[in-house]
Amino acid sequence: MQDQWTVYGTALSSRLFMGSALFPSPQVMADSVRASGAEVVTLSLRRQSPETGAGQAIWDYIRALDCRLLPNTAGCHTAREAVTLARMSREIFATDWVKLEVIGDDYNLQPDPFGLVEAADELIRDGFKVFPYCTDDLVLCRRLLDVGCEVLMPWGAPIGTGKGLVNPHALATLRERLPDVPLIIDAGIGKPSDAVQALEMGFDGILLNTAVAQSTDPVTMARAFAGAVESGRLAHHGGVMPERQTAQPSTPTVGTPFWHENP
């Protein structure tokens, strides 16, 4: 099925974004990203000493994937930190895409909604294409759209928990109220069935990392997620049947043998 979609004017075929962290080795990371079919890969920036080759090894592996890069601002706790890190990553990676993370609580790695809107506003004025990692709060999402975000990345569950979509009601509300905004479920996906659920609900894509990287066999799991995303997307197009409270036979009842009127 030809099923292209567009984020910030860029056409994508895959609905999977992949993180590059936590894999057993850079080679397994690269093989998993290829197996997933993802066209967008996230990465980050950290302090580096000259002796460690300034991060060259992992960067070489990621560059060889020939994917679109989505640098994150992981670890930033204020709008100012996130804006600075975004500017540093734009210079290194030569992209104006940024996965904007401003963390408000270290226990949950929960986005700080106030810092997030402030940073998104400043970065968009500075020419960035911001992919905000946000909660499933509808009003926050509206504020992010108000300052110019063209795509939103609400969490399914806190980063790295693998709990799936913990608040399907809030996510369904987002989908319903923002029907034309590309929405990518970022964080919390644990199993391919969570990915199916997200795509079935009409979300445009998912961003995965731990669920693949920390599985027993990441390359196989990456393939499983690729299939799940395609399946969920097809189900969304196919239109799920309405649920019923009582049974209804699927086999025709007319002509049932041995049938007789109750005495």
Residues with a catalytic annotation lie at 99
| 64 token code pair | 């060889």
d(CA 169, CA 148): 26
Q: Cβ–Cβ contacts within 10 Å for residue 140, how many?
A: 19
- The full DSSP string for 201-245 is TT--EEEESHHHHTSSSHHHHHHHHHHHHHHHHHHHHH-PPPP-S
Which CB sits closer to another protein, 75 or 104?
75
Which CB sits closer to another protein, 160 or 168?
160
Closest approach, Cβ 214 to another protein, in A, equals 11
Closest approach, Cβ 31 to another protein, in A, equals 14
- Which residues neighbour 133 within 8 Å (Cβ) at sequence distance 6 or greater? 72, 99, 100, 101, 111, 116, 153, 155, 186, 187
Closest approach, Cβ 50 to another protein, in A, equals 4
Q: Cβ–Cβ contacts within 10 Å for residue 5, how many?
A: 14
Q: Is 148 left (phi over 0), alpha (psi -120 to 50) or beta?
A: left
* Residue ranges in contact with another protein by CB under 8 A: 19-23, 26, 29, 42-51, 54-56, 58-59, 62, 71-72, 74, 80-81, 84-85, 87-89, 91-93, 159-160, 209-210
The DSSP letter of residue 186 is E
Which CB sits closer to another protein, 93 or 203?
93
Closest approach, Cβ 121 to another protein, in A, equals 17
Closest approach, Cβ 186 to another protein, in A, equals 9
Which CB sits closer to another protein, 214 or 231?
214
Which CB sits closer to another protein, 24 or 237?
24
d(CA 129, CA 71): 11
What are the backbone dihedrals phi and psi of residue 131, each rounded to the nearest 5 degrees, phi first?
-110, 95
